[in-house]
Amino acid sequence: MLEIEDLKTNFNTYDGVVKALNGVNLTIKDGEIFGLVGETGSGKSVTCYSALKLLPKTGEVVGGKIVLNGEDITHASEARLRQIRGGEIGIIFQDPLSALNPVMTVNEQIGEILVLHQDEEIKNLASEKEIPTYKSKKFQASPGVEFTILAFCISFISLFVMLGQFTFSLPFLFLIGMMFLRNYLQRDLPHSALDLMVIDALSRVKLPNPEQIASSYPHELSGGMQQRVMIAMALAGKAKMLIADEPTTALDVTIQAQILQLIKDIQREENMSVLLITHDLGVVAETCEKVAVMYEGKIIEEASVDQIFKNPQHEYTKALIEAIPKGGKERLKVPDIGEPGAI
Amino acid sequence: MSSKRQDNNDVENPSQVTNIYISDSVINRSNIGNKIETTTESKPKEDVPSDYKKYKGKVLKIKKLRKHFPVKNVWGKNIALVKALDGVDLEIEGGKTFGIVGESGCGKTTLMRTLLRLVEPTSGSVLLSDEITNNKFSSNKLEELTSEELRNFRKQIGVVFQDPMGALNPRMLIKDIVSEPLSIHGKTEGIREKVIWLLNNVGLGEEHLYRYPHEFSGGQRQRIVIARALALDPKILVLDEPTSALDVSVQAQILNLLNDLQKKYDLTYVFISHDLSVIEYMCDRLAVMYLGRVVEEADTEDLFSNPQHPYTRALLSATPSFEKQKEKIMILGDVPSPIVYLDESKAKLATEITEQERLEIKAIEGKGIEYIVRSSLNEHLSLKEVAPSHYARVK
């Protein structure tokens, strides 16, 4: 599915060049959950951002090859990359609230992705069911505008009533009446094809009441629901691969278990490949089939999950496993490592 | 008296202990480490006073503590209450670590704030033992202390917050940060020596005095916060998620440091966390909180080997681990809102299966996963002693 060969990424800073990646080799097969573990500053996130060319301006891929489904995308054009991001590879970020746009409803945000990547299917669905393609009256209701009109009318009515000229207020009363009549007549209008696909995307991640969630803003949802919306967004473009960058770090353990179960279920149902980036070895053990440990921009050990915990080969992996507190009261062994990030 | 002498011995011979931190924290961490080692070894420490006293028994007793935050409507009328704490009974033993676990929004942090009287409780009381009051206070109830006594009381409790960068003023030098509590409480002499002693205690050194917080790594910042918390020789240290912002290797350093400090100065820890592996490692006794109530309280080993409350069982099984394949108990549904409406006809916490839970049950059906529905936890049960000193809210 995705092959990364000898990837090197540098960051140019005022203090010199930071070599964030020093030759990363990764192969993620079809239908595999692959875990990438490491501490802060080890380059796990940079690997995924480099693969999708999402680096900030100071960052630059200086060597290596990225192959997606046999196609070399190392020097792909921006237009092609846009098709890949969201269309072939979906991404989930750590903090759902900062990754979702606070001033757009869930419906608008998922709709954006669908229009970009699933335009033909929306049009097919619309012509098949004879419903509007993009816009429906259903979600178009803007309470702000309606409230303004209402306040405007009421103030004029009260003004004229106070002046004793009740007849002048009749047109405004008529306007209010028309507004309510419009809402009443439109209550049963069909969804547009886009709305139907948004609702479908939301129900794929087992969200209850998808119509209500589609019309709500991100802050109105709980953390677990927000992360489910993020997953729905990542999957909306029918991506065959999912990159999850610390998807459960901001969540409680019980919610984390739900979200990991959901990722596993969806992976199995749709036979996707998943690249799970995390710092929690426990999450990897429970979710992934294969795992790679990163340290200072290199992959120092790669093995199946069973092997890496039973028989870690590299000293750093051993130290990382030993640093996790366990039941006993013996002193924790601290890994004998350099300052993270000082490269 | 003998215990006091023992403490002095510790202070006279600190190189042994400090060396442990140094060997933890700065092996191979280049030049900074070497500097610390040389400075700490050359520094005599006998002149720094220490009146730590070994004590046993309960230092704090929390009785039926409640904290309800009002929810107001547009006209300023109370329409609902957020029951952040709803009748918490706890006894915290001296010289031990008491853990508080729970998910976000269950009232852990409010409990910590009420313990320090940073927020006034709605009802209930916190009883202080003689070790803390020194028989000098007018009352042994926290809520009856005068402001002068409260100031003295707060000397006895140090606090370490979750995010060290948020807890340290970015414009102050480390010297000023660590000495601030000393100058606030009227100490004028020997401040510099005390600050250096405190920094040595947490594995930092004299050369860090004139630096700003941003020049340190996350683990070092947390050490500075711990040094500041220890500045007034407190008897109790409240640790609010001290390691959740840190990597595992740095977390291991901080936990070792905390364990060493506890042994050295016989500190009492109130350890708040949502990470069960950390809690299991650190704590002697443990309370599990859910929606403002303690649902289970027991000694750590007891609780981990024999959890009684369904929420505790789900929490234990949800913690990811690689050691053994344990049975999975999923907890389904979203965290309920702690808002309780005064008008009874309005929304009440559901005790029946909700729409989302029905969907999630359907999704995991036939996979052989045991599950608990969250709305079934909303039933109010009373605390029972299920085993000696093991309490749980079960039927």
Does residue B356 belong to the interface with chain A, where contact is any CB pair within 8 Å? yes
The C-alpha of A68 sits at a distance from chain B's nearest C-alpha, in angstroms, of: 31
DSSP three-state, residue B175: helix
Q: How high is the pLDDT of residue B6?
A: 44
Whether A251 has a pLDDT exceeding 90, the answer reads no
Q: Which two tokens stand for residue B144?
A: 């009856």
**Separation CA B192–CA B300 (nearest Å):** 40
Listed by number, the residues of chain B in 22-41 with a beta carbon closer than 8 Å to a beta carbon of chain A are: 24-25, 27-30
On whether ipTM exceeds 0.85, the answer is no
Taking all residues of chain A, what is their mean pLDDT, rounded to a whole number?
Answer: 85
Whether A21 has a pLDDT exceeding 70, the answer reads yes
Q: How high is the pLDDT of residue B53?
A: 45
Q: How high is the pLDDT of residue A231?
A: 92
Contact A279 B247 (CB under 8 A): yes
Contact B315 A253 (CB under 8 A): yes
Residues B236 and A26: beta-carbon distance below 8 Å: no
Q: What's the per-residue H, E or C state across chain A?
A: CEEEEEEEEEEEECCEEEEEEEEEEEEECCCCEEEEECCCCCCHHHHHHHHCCCCCCCEEEEEEEEEECCEECCCCCHHHHHHHHHHCEEEECCCHHHHCCCCCCHHHHHHHHHHHHCHHHHHHHHHHHCCCCCCCCCCCCCHHHHHHHHHHHHHHHHHHHHHCCHHHHHHHHHHHHHHHHHHHHHHHCCCCHHHHHHHHHHHHCCCCCHHHHHCCCHHHCCHHHHHHHHHHHHHHCCCCEEEEECCCCCCCHHHHHHHHHHHHHHHHHHCCEEEEEECCHHHHHHHCCEEEEEECCEEEEEEEHHHHHHCCCCHHHHHHHHCCCCCCCCCCCCCCCCCCCCC
The C-alpha of B191 sits at a distance from chain A's nearest C-alpha, in angstroms, of: 31
Q: B304 contacts in A (CB within 8 Å)?
A: 327
Q: B281 contacts in A (CB within 8 Å)?
A: 325-329, 332
DSSP three-state, residue B364: helix
| DSSP-derived secondary structure letter, B326 | P
DSSP three-state, residue B295: strand
Q: B314 contacts in A (CB within 8 Å)?
A: 254
Q: A258 contacts in B (CB within 8 Å)?
A: 330-332, 360
Q: How high is the pLDDT of residue B346?
A: 67
Tens-of-pLDDT digits for all 395 residues of chain B?
444 444 444 444 444 443 334 333 333 433 333 433 434 444 444 443 344 444 567 888 898 899 999 988 888 888 888 888 988 999 898 888 999 998 888 888 899 889 888 899 999 988 888 877 777 788 888 888 888 888 888 888 899 988 888 899 999 999 999 999 999 988 888 899 999 999 998 988 888 899 999 988 888 999 999 999 999 989 899 999 888 878 888 888 899 999 999 988 888 999 998 888 888 889 999 999 988 889 999 999 899 888 989 899 888 888 877 766 667 788 887 777 778 888 776 666 667 777 777 777 777 777 777 888 887 887 778 888 888 888 888 88
User: Which of A295, A305, A318, A324 best probes binding to B when mutated, by most B CB atoms within 10 angstroms?
Assistant: A324
Q: How high is the pLDDT of residue B5?
A: 42
Q: How high is the pLDDT of residue B60?
A: 87
Q: Give the pLDDT band (50/70/90) at residue A337.
A: low
Residues of chain A with CATH 3.40.50.300: 1-88+239-343
**Separation CA B248–CA A109 (nearest Å):** 36
- Greatest alpha-carbon pair distance for chain B in Å reads 72
Contact B281 A225 (CB under 8 A): no
Q: Which of B249, B320, B328 sits opposite A39 (nearest CB)?
A: B249
Q: Which of B29, B318, B354 sits opposite A338 (nearest CB)?
A: B29
End-to-end CA distance of chain B: 49
Listed by number, the residues of chain A in 21-60 with a beta carbon closer than 8 Å to a beta carbon of chain B are: 39-40
Does residue B277 belong to the interface with chain A, where contact is any CB pair within 8 Å? yes
Q: B369 contacts in A (CB within 8 Å)?
A: 261
| DSSP-derived secondary structure letter, B328 | P
User: Which of A253, A261, A310 best probes binding to B when mutated, by most B CB atoms within 10 angstroms?
Assistant: A253
Does residue A284 belong to the interface with chain B, where contact is any CB pair within 8 Å? yes
**Separation CA B131–CA B56 (nearest Å):** 9
Average pLDDT over residues A198-215: 86
Does residue B204 belong to the interface with chain A, where contact is any CB pair within 8 Å? no
Predicted confidence (pLDDT) per residue in A278-310, tens digit? 888 888 888 888 999 998 888 989 999 888 888
Q: Which two tokens stand for residue B51?
A: 């009146």
**Separation CA B133–CA B147 (nearest Å):** 14
Contact B24 A334 (CB under 8 A): yes
Does residue A206 belong to the interface with chain B, where contact is any CB pair within 8 Å? yes
DSSP three-state, residue B244: coil
One-letter identity of residue B186 = G
Q: Which of A208, A305, A326 sits opposite B355 (nearest CB)?
A: A208
| DSSP-derived secondary structure letter, B189 | S
Q: A328 contacts in B (CB within 8 Å)?
A: 281
Please indicate whether residue B290 or residue A341 has the higher confidence score (pLDDT): B290
> Which residue, chain included where needed, has tokens 């901080």?
B254
Contact B249 A335 (CB under 8 A): yes
Residue A57: alpha-carbon gap to chain centroid: 22
**Separation CA B8–CA A142 (nearest Å):** 72
Q: CB within 8 A of B234, min separation 6: which ones?
A: B155, B156, B157, B158, B267
Q: B319 contacts in A (CB within 8 Å)?
A: 253, 282
**Separation CA B221–CA B161 (nearest Å):** 11
Contact B28 A337 (CB under 8 A): yes
Listed by number, the residues of chain B in 209-228 with a beta carbon closer than 8 Å to a beta carbon of chain A are: 217-218
The C-alpha of A244 sits at a distance from chain B's nearest C-alpha, in angstroms, of: 17
Q: A222 contacts in B (CB within 8 Å)?
A: 334-335
**Separation CA B68–CA B80 (nearest Å):** 10
**Separation CA A314–CA A293 (nearest Å):** 9
Residues B206 and B39: beta-carbon distance below 8 Å: yes
Query: Which candidate, A129, A172, A170, A168, places its Cα nearest to that of A150?
Result: A172
Q: CB within 8 A of A142, min separation 6: which ones?
A: none
Specify the length of chain B in residues. Answer: 395
Does residue A323 belong to the interface with chain B, where contact is any CB pair within 8 Å? yes
Q: CATH number of the domain at A1-88+239-343, out of 3.40.50.300, 3.40.35.10, 3.40.1160.10, 3.40.309.10?
A: 3.40.50.300
Predicted confidence (pLDDT) per residue in A114-163, tens digit? 988 888 888 888 888 877 777 765 555 566 777 888 888 899 899 988 88
Q: Is A287 left (phi over 0), alpha (psi -120 to 50) or beta?
A: alpha
